[in-house]
Copies of this chain bind each other. A is one copy, B any other.
Amino acid sequence: MLATLIELQRLKRLERTGWALRGLPNGTESVASHSFGAGVTAMMLADEVKARGLEVDCERGLHMALLDDWAETRVGDMPRTATNYFGAAARKTAETLAFADIVSGVGAGESEYKSLYHDYEQRGSLEARLVKAADVIDLLIQAYALEHSGARGLDEFWQAAHDADFDLPTVAQEVVRGMLRSLLDARNKIK
């Protein structure tokens, strides 16, 4: 377990490549910071969805949100454009192999973590799809916060807010769409 946790410390220093490539300064957001943001967002979404009567396995969702980016300690935080050149399938395969090596010997959770990682990558369950929505929402809130403090040149990220379709049941979709709408409204006020 310790070896894995030592390796995961690396995510605290690894910068999110997307911001660096757009000229934002070092320290804008670490991969670990983003995972925290996605985790918190997933937690709030799940709790809200549950309160509206749809069953969600929150423990499962939080596991997925927290382990989503571990492979980056070995393959780095590849920008979205990298997928154009490697292909989405090759990228998933490589990241899955890296994830398996990272959790090798982690202890009791090893096989469960691999199974959760696979579910998340496949968007197989409601929890996986909700965590994916949380991942995108945290990205957009970060973009909003950066724009609020003066950053420019981030328009392309916002396309995601319009295109977003996470294939969710109606109740969950309403929560997610409501949040995206509020975020777009907030952004319009600072543009």
Question: Which residues of chain A have a CB within 8 Å of any CB of chain B?
Answer: 1-2, 4-6, 8-15, 17, 20-30, 32-37, 39-41, 43-44, 47-48, 50-52, 58-59, 62-63, 66-67, 73-79, 81-82, 84-86, 90, 93-95, 97-98, 106-109, 112, 137-138, 141-142, 144-146, 148-153, 179, 182-183, 186, 190
Contact = CB atoms under 8 A, between A and B. Distances in A.
A31 to B, nearest CB: 9
Given A30-B12, A36-B36, A47 B17 contact: no
The complex is assembled from copies of this chain, and their number is 6
A22 B9 CA distance: 10
Contacts of A81: 74-75, 98
Contacts of A84: 74, 97-98
A36 B40 CA distance: 10
A20 B28 contact: no
Contacts of A22: 149
A153 B149 contact: yes
A185 to B, nearest CB: 9
A113 B145 CA distance: 24
| Interface hub of A33, A36, A90 (most chain B Cβ within 10 A) | A36
Contacts of A24: 13, 149
Given A36-B35, A47-B112, A30 B30 contact: yes
A17 B14 contact: yes
Given A5-B37, A39-B62, 16 more contacts: A1-B48, A2-B182, A9-B37, A9-B142, A11-B36, A12-B33, A12-B36, A32-B33, A74-B79, A74-B84, A76-B82, A84-B97, A85-B93, A90-B90, A149-B152, A150-B153
